Amino acid sequence: SAVISQKPSRDICQRGTSLTIQCQVDSQVTMMFWYRQQPGQSLTLIATANQGSEATYESGFVIDKFPISRPNLTFSTLTVSNMSPEDSSIYLCSVRPGQGPAADTQYFGPGTRLTVL
Amino acid sequence: GNSVTQMEGPVTLSEEAFLTINCTYTATGYPSLFWYVQYPGEGLQLLLKATKADDKGSNKGFEATYRKETTSFHLEKGSVQVSDSAVYFCALSDPPGKLIFGQGTTLQVKP
């Protein structure tokens, strides 16, 4: 498995502002993902963070709203831009090591709990 | 497209009761199947997985068997504890690597 940390763990923000969430992994991983978990809901994939190229976004998510960076194989950031109360969610980073028996298993960070007022 | 359906919760049980949480899936091909658990205030933890038909995943007393004929991956535990209270998510792997989750089932175990 992989050890994943996220910063911040939680934040309360004003509408119209932006927040950048960091995800750090203790080893190099092939694939990194960002998910959103709205209150009382399941997880929805926002995008796949590609190392050295633009992220791949899922339907309903756009780069202008959720810009993502992945400068290397152990780190990624997700920015939630121009926030509104509807963006209040838990944002989770996950990784897929992509090697051996765990090749298709994803491991999740502890999440960032965002509240937008 | 691929999808996962879980039984609706919440599920409320007494300690030492038998647990079943139903999960069925729709998929093309042969995805891997997973159960994740989310304890209050925490992120997701992988509970168990199965990668092909008839595989049984197991961990911490929980079990689930990959049933291709019924497209199911039901989670079971013979004797639940208060500490098992959490939200349980069934998921399948969807190429090229993302996970598709069910809606989650809340389990509450009372002493």
For residue A22, pLDDT over 70 is answered with yes
Q: Please provide residue B82's backbone torsions phi and psi, each rounded to the nearest 5 degrees.
A: -55, -35
pLDDT tens readout for residues A31-63: 899 999 998 888 999 999 988 888 999 999 999
CB contact at 8 A, B35 and B22: no
In angstroms, what CA-CA distances link A116 with A11, A16, A36, A41, B42? Answer: 8, 9, 14, 17, 20
A contacts of B36 (beta carbons < 8 Å): 108
Question: Structure tokens of A9?
Answer: 């763990």
Residue B111 DSSP one-character state: -
pLDDT band, residue A101 (cuts 50/70/90): low
Rg (C-alpha) for chain B, rounded Å, is: 13
Across all residues in chain A, what is the average pLDDT? 92
Helix H or strand E segment including A45: strand A43-49
Tell me the sheet residues that pair with A44. Answer: A36
β-bridge mates for residue A31, sequence order: A96
Cα Rg of chain A (Å, integer)? 14
Please judge whether A43 and B89 are an interchain contact, meaning their C-beta atoms are less than 8 angstroms apart.
yes
pLDDT of residue B7: 86
Q: Please tell me the predicted confidence (pLDDT) of residue A76.
A: 97
**Sign of the dihedral through C-alpha B76, A111, A6, B93:** positive
The residues pairing with A7 across neighbouring beta strands, listed in sequence order, are A22
Q: Is the pLDDT of residue B19 over 80?
A: yes
Q: In sequence order, what are the residues at sequence separation of 6 or more whose Cβ sits closer than 8 angstroms to the Cβ of residue B75?
A: B19, B20, B21, B23, B35, B47, B62, B63, B64, B88, B90
Distance from CA of A80 to the nearest CA of B (A): 19
- Distance of alpha carbon A35 from the chain centroid: 5
Chain B environment of A107 (Cβ under 8 Å)? 46
Would you call A86 an interface residue with chain B, using a CB distance cutoff of 8 Å? Answer: no
